[in-house]
Structure 1
């Protein structure tokens, strides 16, 4: 029996294909929802026809990573006995909690999306989380050659590392195909964008990173005020008060700006399919946009996903107001837009979950 631990929407996106691949091979899989982002986690699983087998209710009122971790580890530790392996994904507090609980219980730990590194303290606390998980994991599923190299540089033995591609691309390509073939699903996914003026360019914006709270966010919002005069801006607003309140204060009611609640997975993929370009500090969007031929501007100073930069589908712009405005307007004027809009697959071709499931069955057995 395998135990998969997750709590955020990106974790649900990237773990769902693995759940399906393991169950298709006859494996018994239990999915634990930590409650870090319960509604978004549940809704995303549902898009793949899945539900969590265990839903924890211990995070009510927890606001900081320390509070989340302190509550999760003891509860997760009690779920560990009887499992062949525990799987965590990425770099969230839920992932670190699952990793610590598995290590304390002596249960083998599998890390999906292992080996991503910036080489510095940012992003905080994600870089710390994934580096610590890398020290605890028994099996590392690295998405790219760069991730494999980063693990090797940290002394992780080669037999513990498998390059798999990114299961988020599995999910994206599957949902993209469904949206193109299922008219009812596409209509439901398109509904949140009903008020968008399609005669103007569409800028899809996502921002939530802790390092961008405060002055960085204020600078981004100032750029969006300027850019809203010439284009439509769709911004699903992260519910964290440090994001939600400043965003609404700066942009609510402004013509051309569409402040939406967090979108379900089909709706967000649909929004990427319709957008002219994306402006983001999200790791997942950096991976997804190149596959769709969506040019992406990254509002960060460093990235653990350099592959999109190397293919030319992504550019780093930071959070300075003038730099963001200049980059967006330059692309809209055709400065390199066609090259950035060429679809590429630097993060895998959509078969990662099958590779992972095959390795897990070989190493741990099915039941």
Structure 2
């Protein structure tokens, strides 16, 4: 029996790795260990509770006012001790977080093979997103096994010289999570408040958007809400105090907009399902919302998910107020454009990614 350690530390990672944990535990060929770093704390625990995943190890690295230096050093030293004690045969990490990169590096230092879930996403721009683009490229160098969500991601890995026999296209595990979280007849007071309106669901927290770009994003959203009487918006706001300060400056007093605390993952997925249009600078939402038939405006200058743009489920707006405003206005006024985006085929898989990962690992290990 092979010992597989699955490591994650943030809420987005947990959403996409808990389905992998549950699937891997179905196999008689693996002993599955779960390690969380606690890069996020309260938001991480919400996801663990929903999927009923109990960590075997918890680094609890989150501290008030932490920066990338703090996270990196704490995760690296903590993972050293855990990996030396547990001696796994494989470490699975996800995506592009500091937790994922540093955990992969710790495994590499101890000569433990690394598997990278959601491998091969690229913008080729180290400053966008920062530091995520470096993290995922760095993990790609360290990893032995690469689980690419799309054919384009596989091509990116091949162009970097990754061995073809160690790349598996699986789809995205975030789609797997929706099977657990989205429920018919879901009820929430926000949905009662938004009844008989077109609901915009907003997320904005990206590090490189802090400052002027985020001011412009929020100004565009406020213009839209004030211009269209049948539009309401909900913004589950990030914990980052800088994000909260900018939101207060630009959105305070805006009628028909609710700024609410972060939601549990099941609440948020059901909110996406009830929304009319999604505006985000996030990554995972670019995969989740199209699975629910929701057009997505990506408030960034680059995206590591070009497949969604090519398929027509996403539109990259940049961060300028005028561009975001115009793109949103077009979707609210042009029913045919809205229908085209909402009915486009989702290129990110069919909800079987975790199973494909398990079956492939059973073969190669």
Q: TM-score, normalised by structure 2?
A: 0.94
Partner of 2:172: 166
* Structure 1 residues 243 and 166, CA gap change in structure 2 (3 angstroms): same
Q: Which runs of 5 or more structure 2 residues have no equivalent in the other structure?
A: none
The Cα offsets for residues 170-211 of structure 1, whole Å up to 9 and x where unpaired, read as 1123322xx12xx5xx23xx2444433x22211111011111
* Structure 1 residues 192 and 105, CA gap change in structure 2 (3 angstroms): farther
Partner of 2:118: 113
Partner of 1:86: 91
Quote the Cα distance in structure 2 between the aligned partners of 1:327 and 1:337. 11
**Equivalent residue for 2:220, pick from 218, 223, 229:** 223
Q: Which runs of 5 or more structure 1 residues have no equivalent in the other structure?
A: none
Q: Is the 8 A contact 2:40 2:62 kept in 1?
A: no
Q: Is the 8 A contact 1:117 1:304 kept in 2?
A: yes
Q: Structure 1 residues 136-145 or 241-250, which shifts more?
A: 241-250
Partner of 1:338: 339
Quote the Cα distance in structure 2 between the aligned partners of 1:173 and 1:320. 35
Quote the Cα distance in structure 1 between the aligned partners of 2:15 and 2:293. 20
Quote the Cα distance in structure 1 between the aligned partners of 2:17 and 2:34. 9
Q: Is the 8 A contact 1:294 1:343 kept in 2?
A: no
Quote the Cα distance in structure 1 between the aligned partners of 2:27 and 2:253. 51
Partner of 2:56: 53
Shift of 1:343: 5.2
The Cα offsets for residues 205-255 of structure 1, whole Å up to 9 and x where unpaired, read as 101111111000000111122122222011110111121111123223321
The Cα offsets for residues 57-94 of structure 1, whole Å up to 9 and x where unpaired, read as 23323522222101110110111132111110000011
Quote the Cα distance in structure 2 between the aligned partners of 1:57 and 1:48. 20
Quote the Cα distance in structure 1 between the aligned partners of 2:202 and 2:216. 14
Q: Is the 8 A contact 1:42 1:51 kept in 2?
A: no
**Greater than 3 Å deviation, 4+ residue runs:** 191-194
Shift of 1:42: 1.3
SS of the residue 2:284 aligns to: helix
Shift of 1:330: 1.1
Quote the Cα distance in structure 1 between the aligned partners of 2:139 and 2:69. 16
Partner of 1:361: 362
**Equivalent residue for 1:2, pick from 4, 26, 29:** 4
Q: CA RMSD in A?
A: 1.4
Q: TM-score, normalised by structure 1?
A: 0.93
Quote the Cα distance in structure 1 between the aligned partners of 2:45 and 2:32. 16
Quote the Cα distance in structure 1 between the aligned partners of 2:15 and 2:344. 21
**Equivalent residue for 1:208, pick from 196, 205, 208:** 205
Quote the Cα distance in structure 2 between the aligned partners of 1:104 and 1:265. 34
Quote the Cα distance in structure 1 between the aligned partners of 2:316 and 2:344. 18
Partner of 2:292: 292
* Residue 347 (str. 1) matches residue 348 (str. 2): yes
Q: Is the 8 A contact 2:237 2:262 kept in 1?
A: yes
Q: Is the 8 A contact 1:235 1:258 kept in 2?
A: yes
Q: Structure 1 residues 146-155 or 49-58, which shifts more?
A: 49-58
Partner of 1:133: 139
SS of the residue 1:60 aligns to: coil
Q: Is the 8 A contact 1:62 1:68 kept in 2?
A: no
Q: Is the 8 A contact 1:192 1:260 kept in 2?
A: no
Quote the Cα distance in structure 2 between the aligned partners of 1:247 and 1:55. 32
* Structure 1 residues 136 and 74, CA gap change in structure 2 (3 angstroms): same
Shift of 1:30: 1.5
* Residue 29 (str. 1) matches residue 32 (str. 2): yes
Aligned length: 355
